[in-house]
Amino acid sequence: MYTIRGYEKVKSLEEAYEANQKNSSSIIGGGMWLRLGSKNIGSAIDLTDLGLDQIEETEDAFIIGCMTSLRDIECHKGMNRYFHGMMKEMMKGIVGTQFRNTATIGGSIYQRFGFSDPLTAFLALDTTVEMYAGGMIPLDDFVSMDYDRDILVRIHVKKDGRKAAYQSFRNTKTDFPVVTVGVSKSEAGWKVTVGARPGRAEVFKPVHPLSDEPEDEEIKQFAKEISEAAVFGSNMRASGEYRKLLAEVLVGRAVEDICLQLKQDTQEGLSR
């Protein structure tokens, strides 16, 4: 349980940024992860008046405000249609609907938790975080940066035509994941992310890319290459060895999902 000694509902991002420069201050999103700690907060900074709880769809991207709830992303028809249900898949295992109605995407991405489903999934896409002072930073770079006193304002997910899929494994429903996997295929090739290792999610660029229509054995070798490249640790939920085996299976399933998406697109194109 955390303790709050002061509270400030800001009227601008500039005001929020200045207030957040004190080490004792903290941005309050949904507060769902924060409550698990024992932090002593000198000033809780509330962003709810800044209109950052919306998802905007443009011709080129989906732009997600930092105060947008995980549930709103889970249910967003445009994002699920474009990414073939990936948003719903990555969110469905996070605790429960009531939790997802309150937890915000800004807190989930900024904290870069090892167990974060959204971090693994959005890393597999062409995602950029918009920071108040730091500007636009690719999520691929942001995930390995040190924490600072900047504010994550929005998340930009590019609509670049890629196919994507998400997989995760939990020992029990609503528990933290044992392993998370995101896979995508774009004109630039395949991209794989593995999280809950139990460290932060990482990006893996395959050394041996898949053919246009890979057979089962080729997919198995691809998945094995990724699992061998990733470093896994052990904790109360699983051993590193078990995580490695799970990752291989999940990568394979995600690749098969994407191959099915590509096949369906081809069939739809031929029927037009």
Mean pLDDT of 253-271: 86
Parent domain of 84: 53-160
99 lies in some domain: yes
108 lies in some domain: yes
Whether 229 and 266 share a structural domain: yes
Whether 167 and 261 share a structural domain: yes
Whether 165 and 264 share a structural domain: yes
68 lies in some domain: yes
Q: Quickly count: other Cβ atoms within 10 Å of residue 160's Cβ.
A: 13
Whether 214 and 173 share a structural domain: yes
Whether 165 and 271 share a structural domain: yes
The full 3-state SS of the chain, as one line of letters, equals: CCEECCEEECCCHHHHHHHCCCCCEEEECCCCCHHHCCCEECEEEECHHHCCCCEEECCCEEEEECCCEHHHHHCCHHHHHHCCCHHHHHHCCCCCHHHHHHCEHHHHHHHCCCCCHHHHHHHCCCEEEEECCCEEEEHHHHCCCCCCCCCEEEEEEECCCCEEEEEEECCCCCCCCCEEEEEEEECCEEEEEEECCCCCCEEECCCCCCCCCCCHHHHHHHHHHHHHHCCCCCCCCCCHHHHHHHHHHHHHHHHHHHHHHHHHHHHHHHHC
Model pLDDT for residues 119-128, shown as the tens digit of each residue: 999 999 999 9
Whether 15 and 64 share a structural domain: no
Model pTM score: 0.93
64 lies in some domain: yes
Structural domain total, the chain: 3
45 lies in some domain: no
pLDDT number for residue 33: 67
47 lies in some domain: no
Whether 99 and 116 share a structural domain: yes
Whether 155 and 184 share a structural domain: no
266 pLDDT band, cuts 50/70/90, is confident
Whether 115 and 196 share a structural domain: no
Model pLDDT for residues 18-44, shown as the tens digit of each residue: 999 998 888 888 776 666 666 788 888
Q: Which domain CATH number covers 129?
A: 3.30.465.10
Whether 145 and 173 share a structural domain: no
269 pLDDT band, cuts 50/70/90, is low
